[in-house]
Structure 1
Amino acid sequence: MSNNPPNQIKRVRLSISLYLNYVAHGFGLLILSQNMTALGQSWHAPLKIVSFVISGIGIGRLLAYLITGYLADKFSRKFFVYLGMACYLTFALATPFAKNVYFAYFLAVLAGIANSALDAGTYTTFAEMGSQKSNILLKAAVSLGEFILPIEVASLNGRWFGISFMTMAAILLVNALLLAPLKFPAPQQKNAAVSAGQQQVSKKKLLATVCFVLYGYASMALMIWFTQWVTMFGQKQGFSLASSHLFLSLYSIGSITGVFCLFAILGKVSGQRLLIFMNLAASSAIAVMLVSQTAWLTALAAFVFGLTAASGIMQTGLNAFMNLYPSRKGLATGVFYFFGALASFTVPIITGVLSDVSIQLAFGSDLFIGLLASCLGLAINWALKPAEAKQAVQVKA
C-alpha cells in the first residue's frame, strides 16, 4: 500500500472541507424561502416579488453551469471551489442589507453561480481523488444544512433575521481558512492510446452521452415533481393535512437513509445497473401512491420514493458520465447539471399547466418521468456494457 498516513490525512481534511461547503450550500438553497416575510419587509415588496427574487438562483445556475464546467478543465479545481465560496459569501453577507429588489435579484443570481462553481470544482476533485463514491455523501451534507437552517430560523424568535445569513457566512469563512493550505489532486490525463475496441464503441459512446444528458434532466425533474405536489396530492386523495405533510417528511427521511445505503452498495453493484433498479423502484412507489386508498401504504411509498429517487442516484449518473470523459470531468459536470437546472426551471411551469386539469394529473405525471429515467438507465447500461466488461471500474471510498 503506497498511500502513506500523511497523504491520507490530507485527503480526509480536504474531503471534510468540501463537505462543509455543501452544508453552507444547504443553507443557501433554503435561506431565502425561510426568511421570505422578513426579506419582503426589508425590500418593501410583497411575497410574490420575493418569490420572483428566489427564481434568480435558478437563472444563475443556467447561466453558469456550462461556462464553469468548461473552464474547470482549463484551470485548477481549487480556483472554482474558492470562486463558489466567494460568491456564496458575498450573497450571505450582502443579502440581509439589500434594500431593493434589483440588488437582491443580482445576489440570488450570484448564489446560483456559486452553486455551479462549487459543483464544477468539487465533483471533479472527488473524481480525481479516485473517490467518486464520496460524491454521494455531498447530498447528505446538503441535507444537514437544510435540516439545521429551519431550526435556527425558528429559534431566532423575533431577533434579526440576518443571523442565519451570518451563520452561513461564518461556515464559509472558517472553511476558507481550513482549505487554504490544502493541495488539490492534479487532473488525470486521458491516455493518448486509443484501442481498436474503444474506436468500435464510439457510436455507443455518443448514445450514452445523449442519454446521460437527458438523465441529468429526468433525475432532477423526478425529485422536484414529487416534492412540489405530494402534499397537495395527499389532500386531494382525502388524507388529512397532517398526513399529507408527513408524506414529504418521510420522503426526506428516505432520502437521507438512501444516501448511506447507496454509499454502501455502490462499490459492489455497477452504477449503471443502479440507475435502472433505483428509478424503476421510484416509479413503482409513485404507482402505488396513485392507487393507494390508505395513508400508511402511501406513507410507505413516499419513504421508498425518497430512498430510491433522492438517495444520490443523480450523482451516481454523474459519476458514470465523468468516467466516460476522464479528461473532461468539469465539462461533463457542467452539462449534466445544466440540464438539471433546466428541469428546476421548467418543471414548475409544466406541472402548473397540468394542475389546471387536476392535481392528480400534475402529481401522477411524475410516473412518466420515472419510467423515462429507467429507460435512459437501460440505454446507458447497454451502451456501456462492452467497455464495462473490458475494464471494471473500481470505486474507492
Structure 2
Amino acid sequence: MNKRQLSLSLYLNYFIHGFGLIILTQNMQALSNHWQTPIATVSYVVSGVGIGRLVAYFILGNLSDHFGRKIFVNVGMLSYFIFFVGMAFVKNIQVAYMLSILAGIANSALDSGTYTTFIEMGSPQGSANVLIKAFVSCGEFILPLVVANLESNKLWYGWSFMIAAVILVFNFVFLNRQKFPPRNQDDVETESASQELTGTKKIIVSVSLMGYGYTAMALMILYTQWITLFVRKTFNFSMSLSHWLLSLYSIGSITGVIIIFLLLRKGIPENKLLLMLNIMSLLALAIVCYSPIAIISMLAAFAFGFSAAGGVLQMGLNLFIKLYPHVKGRITGVYFTFGSLASFSIPIITGWLSKQSTASAMRFDLIIGIAGVIFTGLTHWALTTSKTNLQKEQ
C-alpha cells in the first residue's frame, strides 16, 4: 500500500467535493434561466443535498464496516460524477432534485469511506482527517473563479460541472490502482483510548460527541448564512466590509487547518485542543456579535474561522472513532447524521428568529457556541480523569 498516493487521491475527492458544495448556488442564475424557473425553485433543488445526507450517512457508515472502505469511496465518486454530468444537461426539476439528493448521498459515501481509511492508515492523532478541510476549502475558493471566468467570457455554465466530472474520471482510475488498509484494524492509540473509558464516562463522552457533531456544524452554517446581513443592519458596515468578514473567516479556516494539523502531528492531545479551540471560537464570536469597531470585528472574524472551521469537526470525529474502533463506519455515520440535522434545522430556526431581527438570528450562534464548549468540556473531563485513574491503578 502506497500511503502517499492513496492519500493524494482521497484528498483530490474532497477538492471536488468543495466544488459540489457550492456549484448549484454559484450557478443559480444560469440554472434558473436553463430551467425557466424562479431563483426560489433553484434554492428548493439545493435543499435536496441535505436530505440525501440525512438519509444516507448512518446506512452507508454501517455498510462500510461490512463491505470495506474502497467500495464506498467509489460509490461516492460515481454518484458525484452522475450529479455533475446530469446537472449540466437536465431540464426537468424533479430529476434535478433527485440529482441533488444524489449529491448528498455522494458526500455521505465519501465520508464513510475516507475518514475511516485515514484512521486505519495510522495518521498521528487523526491529523490526516483534519487536512480534508483544507482541500474542501480550496475547491470552494477555486470554483467561484471558474464560474466568474465562464460568465465574463459568455461561455456555457455547464463547463464548471464538466471540469469536476473530468477530474473525477481521472481520479477514479488513479484511486482504483491503490490498495486500502484492512478495515477496522486497531492501532495502539485507538485501542488504548477505547480501553480507558468504560461505563458512565463512555456514555457521557459518546452523547457529548454526538451533540458536538450538531453544534460544530451549526456554528459554521449560521455564521456563513447571517454574518453579512447582520453587520450591515446592526452596525451599518459597508457592503465590502460585510463580505470581507466572511472572507476573513475562510482565510482563518485554512490557516487553522494548517496549524491544527501541525499541532496534532506534534502529539498535542485532541481533547485538550478541541476544548481550547471551542472556548476561543466562543470568545471570537461574542466580539463579532457585539463589537461595532470594524478592525476588531475583522480580527475576531479571522479568529472565529481559525477556531470554529479549522478542522474541529474532524477532530471530534477522530475522538469518537477512537472510542469504538471496531465500528468506525457506523460512528462516522452517526456523527455526521447529527451534522446533517444541523444543516436541516438551523436555517429553519434562524429564519424564525430573523422575523424578530437579524441580530436575534446571528446571536443565537452564541447559544450554540456555549453548548459546544459544554460538550467538549465534558469530553475533556471524562477522558482526562479516566486516563489519570488508569495511571493510578497501574
- TM-score tier, shorter chain, comes to over 0.9
- Mapped contact 1:275–1:374 kept (Cα < 8 A): no
AA matched with 2:28: M
Contact (CA 8 Å) 1:254, 1:305: kept in 2 or not?
yes
Deviation at 1:30, TM superposition (A): 0.8
Question: What corresponds to 1:254 in structure 2?
Answer: 252
Q: Alpha-carbon deviation of 1:388?
A: 3.9
- Could you tell me how far apart the structure 2 residues matched to 1:76 and 1:124 are? 10
Distance 2:10 2:186 in 1: 25
Query: 2:230 maps to which residue?
Result: 233
What is the deviation of 1:387? 4.5
Runs of 4 or more, structure 1, over 6 Å off, are: none
Superposed CA offset, 1:321-360 (max 9, x none): 0001101110110000011011011001101111111111
CA distance in 2, matches of 1:120, 1:276: 25
Alpha carbons 1:139, 1:259 under 8 Å: kept: yes
Q: How does 1:246-325 map to 2 (within 5 A)?
A: 246-267=244-265, 268-325=267-324
Number of matched residues?
Answer: 381
Structure 2 gap ranges (5+): none
Write the distance in 2 (CA, Å) between the matches of 1:178 and 1:130. Answer: 22
Correspondence 1:41 to 2:38: no
Kindly provide the amino acid, as one letter, of the partner of residue 164 in structure 1: S
- Contact 2:248/2:302 (CA < 8 Å) preserved in 1? yes
Displacement of 1:45 in angstroms is 1.1
Alignment counterpart, residue 113 of structure 1, candidates 97, 105, 108: 105
C-alpha displacement of 1:199: 8.9
Q: Which amino acid aligns with 1:261?
A: I
Please say if residues 233 and 360 of structure 1, whose CA atoms lie closer than 8 Å, have aligned partners that are also in contact. yes
Larger helix share, 1 or 2: 2
Matched, 1:146 2:146: no
The answer for the alignment partner of 2:10 in structure 1 is: 18
TM-score normalised to structure 2 length: 0.93
In structure 2, the partner of 1:28 is: 20
Determine helix, strand or coil for the equivalent of 2:232. helix
The answer to whether the Cα contact below 8 Å between 2:77 and 2:106 also exists between their aligned partners in 1 is: yes
Give the SS at the match of 2:87.
helix
Distance 2:272 2:280 in 1: 12
Q: Please say if 1:224 is aligned against 2:218.
A: no
Aligned equivalents of 2:359, 2:372: Cα separation in 1: 21
Matched, 1:70 2:62: yes
Aligned partners of 2:13 and 2:49: how far apart in 1?
A: 17
Question: Could you tell me which of 87, 91, 97 is aligned with 1:95?
Answer: 87
After superposition, the Cα gap between the structure-2 partners of 1:200 and 1:266, relative to the gap in structure 1 and judged at 3 Å, is closer
Match of 2:243 in 1: 245
User: What is the CA–CA distance in structure 2 between the aligned matches of 1:386 and 1:130, rounded to whole Å?
Assistant: 25
Q: Which residue of 1 aligns with 2:159?
A: 163
Q: Secondary structure at the match of 1:72?
A: helix
Q: Work out which of the residue numbers 205, 210, 213 in structure 1 matches 2:210.
A: 213
The one-character-per-residue Cα deviations of 1:181-212 (angstroms, maximum 9, x if unpaired) are: 11100023469xx99x9597222111111111
Counterpart residue identity of residue 156, structure 2 = W
Following superposition, the deviation at residue 317 of structure 1 comes to 0.4
Instruction: Give the whole-Å Cα distance in 2 for the aligned partners of 1:250 and 1:219.
Output: 19
In structure 1, the partner of 2:175 is 179
Q: Deviations over 1:120-155 (max 9, x none)?
A: 000000000011211011000001111111111111
Does the 8 Å CA contact 2:196/2:386 hold for their aligned counterparts?
no
* Inter-CA distance 26–86: structure 2 relative to 1 (3 Å threshold): same
Deviates more, 1:273-282 or 1:46-55: 273-282
Query: Normalized against structure 1, the TM-score is what?
Result: 0.93
1:29 and 1:391, CA in 2 relative to 1: closer, same or farther beyond 3 A? farther
Unaligned runs of 5+ in 1: 1-6, 393-397
Which letter does structure 2 place at the counterpart of 1:320?
L
Mapped pair 1:349 → 2:348: yes
